[in-house]
């Protein structure tokens, strides 16, 4: 009985880690669709978000069943509650990748981004995808050193995010209000995506140490 229970806990963690990889994939594709005005890829991200929503509902149901049937305590209870939180954060990451893809679709066949802005979003995409994969790894391994890495990656994302505003506010900005509005929202989506990845890792730190790391600057 106890073994089946442990297996259920492990399965739940595997599913969450798998969700991380899926939203990493979604953000990688969404970023490419944005940079290359690739409508088909954008549609793919938009369609597959339903799958991530289902996985979240499924994970939450399993967590719920564990609470109801096993009444876990101590570390196990923290694990299950963190899984409920994590599933929510990861689903939200999927939503944010979806928003990026929707922006690419909305402007298609026009590019959303002026040419010189592309590299910043390529980098935000790269950092975001890495954060999502690392969050999955932290769920799988409970490696606290790895969890700390996410904080540094998130700092890099914040720097990129802030830099976009500097670019937009520069008198040399010649692309007008429309692209500025798009870029403001898009940069925010990437930044929030990163925040949620960090939140997932922090919950694992809490599971392992029993203490929540300090609040995320939001």
Q: Which residues bind a copy of itself (CB under 8 A)?
A: 53, 57, 64, 67-68, 71, 73-74, 77-78, 81, 84-85, 88, 95, 99, 165, 168-169, 173, 176-178, 180-181, 184-185, 188, 212, 215, 218
Q: Which is nearer to a copy of itself, 4 or 169 (CB)?
A: 169
Q: Minimal distance in Å, beta carbon 141 to a copy of itself? A: 24
Query: Shortest approach of a copy of itself to residue 191 CB, angstroms?
Result: 11
Query: In the complex, what is the shortest distance from the CB of residue 180 to a copy of itself, in angstroms, rounded to a whole number?
Result: 5
If the CB atoms of residues 109 and 214 are measured against a copy of itself, the closer one turns out to be 214
Least distance to a copy of itself, CB of residue 173, Å: 6
- For every residue of the chain, DSSP letters joined together read -HHHHHHHHHHHHHHHHHHHHHHHHHHHHHHHHHHHT-HHHHHHHHHHHHHHHHHHHHHHHHHHHHHHHH---HHHHHHHHHHHHHHHHHHHHHHHHHHHHHHHHHHTTS-SS-GGGHHHHHHHHHHHHHHHHHHHHHHHH--HHHHHHHHHHHHHHHHHHHHHHHHHHSTT--S-HHHHHHHHHHHHHHHHHHHHHHHHHHHHHHHHHSSPPPPPP-
Q: Which is nearer to a copy of itself, 109 or 215 (CB)?
A: 215
Q: Which of residues 5 and 173 has its CB atom nearest to a copy of itself in the complex?
A: 173
* Least separation in angstroms between CB 195 and a copy of itself: 10
Nearer to a copy of itself, 36 or 47 (CB): 47
């Amino acid at each position: 009985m106890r073994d089946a229970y442990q297996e259920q806990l492990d399965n739940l963690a595997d599913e969450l880690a798998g969700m991380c990889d899926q939203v990493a994939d979604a953000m990688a594709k969404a970023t490419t669709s944005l940079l290359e005005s690739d409508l088909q890829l954008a549609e793919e991200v938009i369609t597959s978000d339903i799958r991530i929503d289902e996985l979240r509902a499924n994970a939450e149901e399993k967590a719920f069943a564990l609470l109801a049937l096993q009444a876990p305590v101590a570390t196990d209870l923290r694990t299950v509650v963190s899984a409920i939180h994590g599933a929510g954060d990861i689903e939200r990451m999927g939503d944010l990748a979806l928003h990026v893809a929707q922006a690419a679709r909305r402007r298609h066949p026009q590019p959303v981004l002026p040419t010189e802005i592309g590299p910043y979003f390529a980098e935000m995409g790269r950092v975001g995808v890495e954060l999502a994969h690392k969050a999955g790894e932290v769920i799988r391994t409970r490696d606290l050193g790895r969890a700390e890495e996410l904080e540094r990656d998130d700092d890099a994302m914040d720097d990129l995010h802030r830099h976009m505003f500097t670019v937009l506010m520069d008198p040399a900005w010649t692309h007008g209000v429309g692209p500025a509005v798009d870029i403001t929202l898009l940069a925010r989506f990437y930044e929030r995506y990163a925040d949620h990845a960090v939140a997932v890792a922090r919950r694992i730190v809490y599971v392992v140490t029993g203490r929540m790391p300090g609040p995320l600057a939001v």
